[in-house]
Amino acid sequence: MVNHCANPQCCKPLHYLREGRVYVFDVTRPAAGNSERSARRMEHFWLCGVCSETYFLEQVEDRTVRISPRIQRPVSTAVLPYKAPQSIAS
Ligand SMILES: [Zn+2]
């Protein structure tokens, strides 16, 4: 079970699950060169309150989990120059 923040720069010990965000990922890896069926493995990850505001966790193709910064969306996207509507017949 998770006992500290998933951010390696932080590693804050987990005291209250209420704080921050818990992620559950399926980290089952296909057994290579092994005829045995790999057991499903769910892993819990926790980001503390501070880190979950700045980062989020995501799983990439090879089932590894990585921490990514939240993209701060610019408030105004691509402001186009305003063109006054032209009247057809003047
Ligand atoms: Zn943290």
Identify which has the larger pLDDT, 31 or 24.
Answer: 24
Q: What is the span of the domain harbouring residue 25?
A: 1-29+39-71
Number of structural domains in the chain: 1
Is 34 part of a structural domain of the chain?
A: no
Collect residues with CB below 5 Å from ion ligand 1: 5, 7, 10, 12, 48, 51
Is 13 inside any structural domain? yes
What was the pLDDT predicted at 46? 95
On whether residue 83 sits in a domain, the answer given is no
pLDDT in tens, 33-74: 665 666 788 999 999 999 999 999 999 988 899 999 998 766
- Cα distances from 67 to residues 7, 36, 37, 64, 88, in angstroms, run 7, 31, 29, 10, 55
* Residue 84 pLDDT level (bands cut at 50, 70, 90): confident
CA distance linking residue 6 with residue 53, whole number of Å: 13
Give pLDDT, residue 32.
Answer: 63
> How far, in Å, is the centroid of ligand 1 from the Cα of 76?
30
The answer to whether position 61 is within a domain reads yes
Within-domain flag for 87: no
